[in-house]
Structure 1
Amino acid sequence: MKTLHFISGGETGGSRKHVITLLSKLPKDSVSLVVLQEGALSKEAEEAGIDVHVFKQSSRYDLSVLNKLIRFIKDNSFDILHTHGPRANLFGTYLKSRLDIIWVTTVHSDPKLDFMKTGVKGKAFTKLNMFALKKMDGYFAVSETFKQNLVSLGIPAAKVQTVYNGIEFTADKAVPLSRESLGVNENDFVMTMVARLHPIKGHEVVFRAIKTLNNPDMKLILVGDGPIKAELEELAAKEGLQDQVTFLGFRQDVDSIYAASDVALLASYSESFPLALLEAANQHVPLITTDVGGVKELVEPGNTGWIVPIKDDKSLATAFASAYEKKESGELKQMGTKLYSFASSHFSLQQLADSTMNYYKKLAAGKN
C-alpha cells in the first residue's frame, strides 16, 4: 500500500511539523511527499530522508501541475492520496475525479477560519475548501473537537478518525540558548509563543494582558513569521511593549528556545492539537493555553499549566501572574516535570503513526 501526501509547501506552522514528523515515522518505501514550492518544509523533509517531489507552479492559480500529478500518481501506483490544507484539498477534487484512488485529509485547523481577515477572496477560498472537504473518503481529525466540527458540517462520524498529534519525546532536554542571545535577562520571566503571525493566533490579546500587568520583568518571545508581522511590531511599539516583546521570526531551534524559557504560551482562537505545546512539554516547560482543540487532553490546570478562555486578556493576565508567582516560589519547574511525564507517555509519535496506518488499512479493506 503506497501513500502520497500532498501539501502546498509554504507552511511554516504546525501542519508543516505534523507532516514531517509523521512521514519520518512511516515506512520509507511506502510513502512520498508532493509540494508545490520549495521552502523550509521541503528542505526539512529531504533532511529527514522523506521522498520529496516538487511540482512548481508559476503562480498559485497555475493548474498545469494537475495533469503532471495525475501521471506521477499513475506511474508510481499510489493507493492513497492524503492531502493537507485548503489548496491541496481543492486540487484533490480534480485528482480524485480522474483516478481510482482513496482520498483522505488531515484537518489541522478550523476550515471556517483558515482565511480569516482576507476579504472577499478569503470567503471564496473558504467555500471551495468546504466543497472539497465533503468529497473525501476519510478524514483524520487531530482532536475530538475537530472531529465534531466535521460532523457538524454533515460528514459522517464513521468516516472521521481522531489521531492526536505526537512527537518523538527525548530522554534529555535540549541545550538551552543563552538568554542574552534571545534579548532577555537571566532573572526575567520568559514566555515563549511559537505560532504563525496570523490573526487567529491571538497575539493582540497577549499584548493587552502583558500591558495590564505592568511588570517589566515579564518578557515575551515570539517565534514564527506571517502576514501580520509589521502590524504586530507596530502594535507592540504603540503599547510601549517594545522592551518586553522580541520577534525572532521563523526558527529551527525551537527546542533550545523552549529550554531557555519559563513557560510556553498559546493564545489561539482555534487550534486542533498544537504540536508546539508537545514540543514545550518535551522541554519540561509548563503551558499557558487558551481552551482550544484538544488541549484539555494534555493540560491539567493548576498541575501542569493553565487553560483560559479565548480572547480573554483578563484571564490570560491572571494566568501570567500566577505562573510568575509559581516561578518565584520554585513550583514552576515541578509543573514542567509533571507535564513531561504525562505527555511523553500519552502523545508519542509512534501512536500517531500506528493510528494513521491502521486507518489506511481500514479504508483499503473497505474498498476491496
Structure 2
Amino acid sequence: MKVLHVNAGLENGGGLSHIVNLLTEAKIEHKDFDLLTLAEGPVAEAARREGINTSVLGASSRYDLASLKRLTKFINDGHYDIVHTHGARANLFLSLIHKKIHATWCITVHSNPYLDFAGRGLLGKIFTKLNIRALRKADCIFAVTEHFANLLINKAHVDKTKVHVIYNGIFFHSDSEIPAKYEHTYFNIVNVARTEKVKGQDLLLKAVKQLDDQHIRLHIAGDGSQLEPLKALMRELDMAPQVTFHGFMTHHQLSGLYKRIDLAVLTSYSESFPLVLLEAADNLIPILSTNIGDISKMIPSLDYGFIAKVGDVDSIAEAIKAAVNKSPKDLRAMAEREKRYAEEHFSVKNQLASIEKVYDTLV
C-alpha cells in the first residue's frame, strides 16, 4: 500500500510532531509512506532530519490555487493508494481536486474545526466553512478524540460511517534514557503551548497569583499572538520574579528544561489529545490539565494526574495546590504510574497500526 501524507508545511508544535512521529514509525516498519508539504517550512525540515521521503510542492502563497494542477499530477503520477491530509489548507486543496485523483482521500482532524480560525473575522468564517465542506467530501476522517468525532457527526454532519477515533501517540523512552532531574529550590511548573487565547495561559497566571506562594515558579514555553499581552498581565499582577517566558523551544531545549520541572500544566479551553502532556509523562513529570477533549483517557483517575475545570481559575489553583502539597515521593510515584499507562495505550506504534487497519478497509 502506497500512502502520501500532505500538509501545508508551516505547522509547529503538536501537528508537526503528529505527522513526523507517524511517518518515522512507518519508516521504521518499512512502510511505503511519503510526505508532501505545500511549502517549505518546519514540517519538511523535521521530516528530512528523520530520513522521511519528503517532497515540497512549492506553492507560492497560502492561496496559490495555480499549484493544484501540479498537486494532481504528483498524486496520480506517484500511483498512491491513499492520500492523507493534515490541516485546513491541505484539506481545502484536496477538496478541489479529489475527483481528479485516483487515490482514496483521508483527513486527520487535529483540532476543533470551528475554532481553528476563531477571531479572524469574515475571512476566518469563510475558511471555516471551506474546511467543513472539505471534511464532508473526504472518504475517511480520523478524529483524535471522541469529542471531535461527535462534533463532526452531529454538528458538521459528516457521515458517521467515515469517522474513526484514533488517539495520538509518541515515542516513549526507557526511564534510563531520561536525563536525571536537577536539584532545585522552587516548585517549577511548565506550560508548553502556543501563546494563543485558546491555550488559557492568562488563567494559569491568575491561578498562580491566587496561590500567593513564592515557592512556585512558572515557565511558559511558546510563542504566539498573546505573548506580549501575557507579559503585560504578568507585570500587572506583579509576578515578574515568579514567571519566565522562554518563547518557542525545540525538543532538545525542552529536555533541558524538564530536568528541573515538578509539574506540567495545560489550561486550554480546547485541545485535541495533547502530545505535550504525553511528552511530559515520558519525562516522568506529573501532568495537570483542564478537562478538555478526551483528557480523561489520558488521565483516567487522580492517581495518574490532576484535572481542573475549563476556564475556572479557582479550580486550576486548587489543582496546582494539590500538586504542591504532595511529597516528592508521591509525585514521582504518580508520574511513574502515568508513564506506564501512557506507554501501554498511546505509543506511535499503536497509532500507526490502528490507522493501517482503516486504510486496509478502504483499499
For residues 177 and 121 of structure 1, do their structure 2 counterparts lie closer, same or farther at Cα, with a shift above 3 Å needed? farther
Matches within 5 A, 1:334-345: 334-345=333-344
Distance across 1 between alignment mates of 2:127 and 2:232? 29
Contact 1:190–1:261 (8 Å) recurs in 2: yes
Alignment partner, residue 288 of structure 2: 288
Distance across 2 between alignment mates of 1:176 and 1:223? 21
Alignment partner, residue 139 of structure 1: 141
Contact 1:12–1:196 (8 Å) recurs in 2: no
Per-residue CA deviations over 1:267-316 (Å, capped at 9, x if unaligned) read 11111111111111111111110111221011134312111111011000
Deviation at 1:155, TM superposition (A): 1.7
RMSD after superposition:
1.7
How many aligned positions are there? 357
Letter in 2 for 1:164: Y
- Partner-residue secondary structure (3-state), 1:103: strand
Alignment partner, residue 115 of structure 1: 117
> Among residues 202, 213, 231, which one is paired with 2:200 in the alignment?
202
Distance across 2 between alignment mates of 1:259 and 1:243? 20
Distance across 1 between alignment mates of 2:170 and 2:228? 32
> Among residues 84, 92, 95, which one is paired with 2:94 in the alignment?
92
> Among residues 81, 84, 88, which one is paired with 1:82 in the alignment?
84
Distance across 2 between alignment mates of 1:89 and 1:150? 15
Contact 1:6–1:88 (8 Å) recurs in 2: yes
- Partner-residue secondary structure (3-state), 1:26: helix
Structure 2 gap ranges (5+)? none
Contact 2:39–2:60 (8 Å) recurs in 1: no
For residues 91 and 162 of structure 1, do their structure 2 counterparts lie closer, same or farther at Cα, with a shift above 3 Å needed? same
List structure 1 runs of 4+ shifted beyond 6 angstroms. Answer: none
User: Which range is displaced more, 243-252 or 314-323?
Assistant: 243-252
Alignment partner, residue 175 of structure 1: 179
Letter in 1 for 2:317: A
Alignment partner, residue 309 of structure 2: 309
Distance across 1 between alignment mates of 2:242 and 2:8? 35
Alignment partner, residue 53 of structure 2: 51
Residue 165, structure 1, aligned to residue 168, structure 2: yes
- Partner-residue secondary structure (3-state), 2:171: coil
- Partner-residue secondary structure (3-state), 1:6: strand
Distance across 2 between alignment mates of 1:263 and 1:144? 26
- Partner-residue secondary structure (3-state), 2:4: strand
Distance across 2 between alignment mates of 1:286 and 1:300? 14
**Percent pairwise identity:** 38
Per-residue CA deviations over 1:162-207 (Å, capped at 9, x if unaligned) read 111111111125326868xxxxxx1111111111111111111111
Q: When the two structures are superposed, what TM-score results if normalisation uses the length of structure 2? A: 0.94
Alignment partner, residue 151 of structure 2: 149
Per-residue CA deviations over 1:80-139 (Å, capped at 9, x if unaligned) read 111111111111111203212211111100001111222222111111111111111001
Distance across 2 between alignment mates of 1:166 and 1:298? 11
